[in-house]
Amino acid sequence: MIIAITGTPGVGKTTVSKLLAERLGYEYVNLRDYALENDIGEMKGDELEVEVDELAYNFERDFKGKDVVVDGHLSHFLPADIVIVLRAHPRLVGERLTERGYSKEKIGENVEAELVDVILVEALEENENVIEVDTTGKTPEEVVDEILELIEKGVKKRVG
Ligand code: DAT
């Protein structure tokens, strides 16, 4: 099963994805590293610009049928069985990106994107199996527990 973990930068994708992969015994894939290793897209300054179709095509070829948790703010464009959209209070997103040394402009863009549900809306357009999980006030472990419960419920519903 391919589980995509998406969301605005700073919501906690990497932290949660690694933990979730560990709990499930799945492979963890960072989508940016995958693109760079496979020469997909090009660097513009310190940002990687990729063609999502090319990314999805390559990813499907390499991971179809495998058990993988894929972490990235474009992961909802991949052929995933489940898309988890992580959310965090925009204030938290702002604080974390400030700590990371992002520019004022980048911080503003991302805080606003989180405020107006940009990734959620995109994910809902791309995939029928979207789960939104709010991380605010929770530990990464609690978030992973919640995701595991929701996946289990979803799978049961589809089977039964
Ligand atoms: P992203 O991959 O979305 O950019 P990250 O995992 O690199 O995010 O960073 C998230 C930071 O927030 C990291 O320092 C851990 C912290 N954090 C605190 N509570 C969290 C939670 N419930 N879920 C995920 N991360 C959390």
Residues with CB under 6 A from ligand 1: 7, 9-16, 96, 135, 138-140, 143
Nearest CA to ligand 1 atom 16: 12
CA of 158 to the centre of ligand 1 (A): 30
Is residue 32 within 8 Å of residue 72, measured between CB atoms? yes
Question: pLDDT tens digit string along 100-156?
Answer: 999 999 999 999 999 999 999 999 999 999 999 999 999 999 999 999 999 988 766
Residue 38: φ, ψ to 5°? -105, 15
Nearest CA to ligand 1 atom 21: 140
Question: pLDDT tens digit string along 17-33?
Answer: 999 999 999 999 999 99
DSSP 26: P
52 pLDDT band (50/70/90 cuts)? very high
Q: Choose which residue among 11, 15, 75, 143 to substitute to test ligand 1 binding: the one with the highest number of ligand atoms within 8 A of its C-beta.
A: 15
Tell me: pLDDT of 157 over 90. no
> Would you state the pLDDT for residue 45?
83
DSSP output for 49-77:
E--HHHHHHHHHHHHTTS-EEEESTTGGG
Domains and CATH numbers, the chain: 2-135 (3.40.50.300)
Tokens matching residue 29: 């894939």
> Would you state the pLDDT for residue 16?
98
Return the ligand 1 atom nearest residue 86 CA.
3
Dihedral sign (CA 74, 76, 77, 81): positive
DSSP 46: T
Average pLDDT in the chain? 95
Q: What percentage of residues in the chain have a pLDDT greater than 70?
A: 96
Lay out the sheet containing 27-30: strands in order across.
Answer: 27-30, 68-71, 2-6, 82-87, 130-134
Say what the ipTM of the complex is.
0.97
Tell me how far CA of residue 151 lies from CA of 3, 14, 21, 53, 144, in angstroms.
10, 18, 13, 26, 10
